[in-house]
Amino acid sequence: MLTQKKYGVYRVRVCVLGAGAWGTALAIHLSKKTKVTLWARNTSHLSGMKKSRSNPKYLGDFKFPDLLSLSDNFHEAVTNCDFILSAIPTSGFREALKQLKTIDCNKPILWANKGLEVSSAKLPFEVILDEFSNSENIVSSWGVLSGPSFAAELIRGLPTAVTIATNDKDFSSNIAPLFHHNNMRSYTSNDIAGVCVGGALKNVIAIAAGISDGMGFGNNARAALITRGLSEIKKFGLELGAMPETFSGLSGMGDLVLTCTGEYSRNREVGLRLAKGEPLQSILDGLGHVAEGVYTAREVAKRSKLIDIDMPITQQVNNVLFEKKSAKDAVLELIERPIKQEI
């Protein structure tokens, strides 16, 4: 079994790709129970982490457990592990998969990145199907980890619950215990499409919620955006084969509510600052972290038209971000839409 235990520690080696806030928080959590290699592309960032045994750039001075090691050697990191956890941005996910193919690495992969790939408008599970469906180097087990989870709270030991959806029941059973300890609870699922859609599209609705809050529209408006936003997310997901009940769970409603209301939400912050009239590029430059919802909005707006789904909130967020529409006009257009039956 992948998760054999000895003296309370799992005999498993995990490679975490990506040393941002979420990747580091997951690496620290996992390394309380098993050996973890945290891979970072930036050598100066890696050097700073090695010296401090922490990630001050993204997570302050929370110290790394003894079972956590650091590497900038991609080949060594992925070959000397039992499974790979990708926390790199969605924009870099395909390139990481291509690298895995060149070194003939067929380890199971779990990803924790959320978003749609720029230009292709594909979700991570579609990207992995692109790269491995017709390849001799077949990664047969893969899945996604998602749910209402801020890195800053996980790292502080606050209660956190996530969903792990995979294409392989045995893989789920083996890896879920690696996360299910201390302050984290893990649930399993086989709805990869639904978990991916919920995790990606909630960021777009969070930008809308931030715009609304920034303009002082109050709690009623925020609640309406969350509720109607969930309807848009669900419609999109069902078109991709997702199960409807997934959107009532942690990776659907749970993650949506957190991202639309939480103080650590980068996407909500984008909306708040847009409402103040700040230019988008200035906002992104000042964040210091990736706000996946910005480019996801454009890709979802594009893809929803291709599959003929009405997604008015997403479309208006895209208009504010990329079509120079004012936040006020976007909100007024949403309010003035014709009466329709609620579904």
What angle do helix axes 293-306 and 312-322 make, rounded to 10 degrees? Answer: 130
* Coil, strand or helix at 17: strand
Say what the alpha-carbon torsion angle 213, 162, 203, 110 is, to the nearest 10 degrees: 160
Catalytic residue among 32, 122, 202, 234: 202
Return the residue matching tokens 């997934």. 246
320: nearest Cα among 286, 279, 268? 279
What angle do helix axes 192-214 and 124-132 make, rounded to 10 degrees? Answer: 140
Say what the alpha-carbon torsion angle 24, 140, 186, 50 is, to the nearest 10 degrees: -10
Active site (annotated) includes residue 202? yes
Q: How far apart are CA 43 and CA 326, in angstroms?
A: 41
Question: Which residues have a Cβ under 8 Å from the Cβ of 156 and sit 6 or more positions away?
Answer: 62
* Coil, strand or helix at 15: strand
Return the residue matching tokens 């038209």. 305
Catalytic residue numbers, as ranges = 202
